[in-house]
Structure 1
């Protein structure tokens, strides 16, 4: 399966503003890209790249004053299978965990696993450790939080989401991450593309979303407490301890976003369309703009 994915963000900056962006596909999937994964800007500006401490690909640029557009558009190969389930995956004893996973047992800015530990063990401590317990966490969080874009709030933590019972995908993920860490399961926060491929029509063209990965049975596994069901065409952009580590864009100044679009569609669905008029993108970014390739 081939998936066309990308995004477009439009700003109106009052003065030049430095930015760090995480918009390109995670380096672990770079080999599946059909061409360079690019950061495109209009007007064109230089884009420097680096890897952060988690191994995510980041772009640095300075947006000029006035109208400014930044985005990506790329095709990636995908196996077309839903997120795998491995019910037999076992939880490791802490002393047996690889050292690089230990960071994901600790509390973080939005995931106060220390403050939620008593609740985590009250709710889930009676369940056998492993895949089933993690799924029980996701089932609980999925039922406990009411979803609504109007509930988005950048300062809401896992503890707040638990108390308030509402939020967006990042809040579902923060709460599930905090519970799992409190239960001694290394858990990292992920952000990227979630497609609606295989979902009943009509459906949107995909979106950016948050989910988590847990370390069980010697490797990382996807769990999605917001959707709480396997999805086809999930493509990671970045992972870290929580949303503070992986913002799509970080502006060192005002953040006057005036337009935002995301797409993640099976190419077969859009091949018959005229690429000059098809959605996405409605107004493609010019090809001559500065780009960066995944390393």
Structure 2
């Protein structure tokens, strides 16, 4: 299956400004790119401590448009989750999993431990416990882009009972970690493939990876069903590790568009078609409003 992904972001700065971005597909998917234009975001590419690629660059004064359009080959299979996977005792976890057991900026495991054990402690661990957590979070939180707030933590989402995809992910992560299940935050592209079209604006998505029975599995409490065509961009402890777009100076976000959809043309025609029609980005309001106006930091800005 071929999936078309891309973005167009227009940023305006008043003086040369350093920018870090996590916008392009994860290194594990580079081999699956069958066509791309242009050759990804300009700048210096580096790998962070979690194995993600990010781009560093300095934007010149004025408006800069960052854009990328690519076609990626995927299996076409839905997310795999082993319903019989067992929880691994912390004493036997690989060292790489240990950071994903601890609290982090948006995931207050210490403050949610009692809640986690009282609600899910009676499950035998492993897949049953993770499934129960996802079912709970899906039912407990109401989703709307209007609920977006860049400072909301997992505990605040739990108490407020609202959020966007990152809040669903943070709450699942926190509950899993409090129950000694390694869990990490992931974001990337995911379109409406194999499911009815979502009326919500197209956007980057956030989900969770949990470690059970010696491997990582994808779970997504926001949609709460296996999905097709999920393409990873980055993973970390929570959203603070992998902000889509971080600036180190005042800026104005003039445009933010994302597209993700199945490419149904012939592979020989790749690159001969215009960008997909479904390019929606209303979540940040009308063009011309600044991130500060929209409740986002004008300096360092975590968008998902």
TM-score, normalised with respect to structure 1? 0.88
Structure 1 residues 278, 79: CA separation in 2 closer, same or farther (over 3 Å shift)? closer
- CA distance in 2 between counterparts of 1:49 and 1:181 reads 31
Q: Which residue of 2 aligns with 1:286?
A: none
Report runs of 4+ in structure 1 exceeding 6 Å deviation: 269-274
Residue 232 in structure 1 maps to residue 233 in structure 2: no
- CA distance in 1 between counterparts of 2:128 and 2:245 reads 35
Post-superposition Cα deviations, 1:5-41, rounded to whole Å, max 9, x if no partner, equal 111111222222110011111111222111468334x
Residue 56 in structure 1 maps to residue 44 in structure 2: no
**Does structure 1 retain, via aligned residues, the 8 Å contact 2:36–2:68?**
no
Q: Which residue of 2 aligns with 1:184?
A: 180
**Does structure 1 retain, via aligned residues, the 8 Å contact 2:259–2:276?**
no
Q: Which of the residues 272, 275, 285 maps onto 2:273?
A: 275
Q: Which residue of 1 aligns with 2:260?
A: 264
Residue 111 in structure 1 maps to residue 107 in structure 2: yes
Q: How many residues align?
A: 277
- CA distance in 2 between counterparts of 1:281 and 1:107 reads 36
Kindly state the Cα deviation for residue 279 of structure 1 after the two structures are TM-superposed: 2.8
Counterpart of 1:200 in 2: which secondary structure?
Answer: coil
Structure 1 residues 216, 280: CA separation in 2 closer, same or farther (over 3 Å shift)? same
Q: Which residue of 2 aligns with 1:217?
A: 213
**Does structure 1 retain, via aligned residues, the 8 Å contact 2:184–2:235?**
yes
Kindly state the Cα deviation for residue 278 of structure 1 after the two structures are TM-superposed: 5.2
Kindly state the Cα deviation for residue 206 of structure 1 after the two structures are TM-superposed: 4.6
Please list, as runs of the form range in 1=range in 2, the aligned pairs for 1:1-295 lying within 5 A after superposition: 1-35=1-35, 38-40=39-41, 47-201=43-197, 206-268=202-264, 275-276=273-274, 279=277
**Does structure 1 retain, via aligned residues, the 8 Å contact 2:185–2:237?**
yes
**5+ residue gaps, structure 2:** 281-304
**Does structure 2 retain, via aligned residues, the 8 Å contact 1:137–1:176?**
yes
- CA distance in 2 between counterparts of 1:182 and 1:277 reads 43
TM-score, normalised with respect to structure 2? 0.86
Q: RMSD between aligned alpha carbons?
A: 2.2
Kindly state the Cα deviation for residue 175 of structure 1 after the two structures are TM-superposed: 0.7
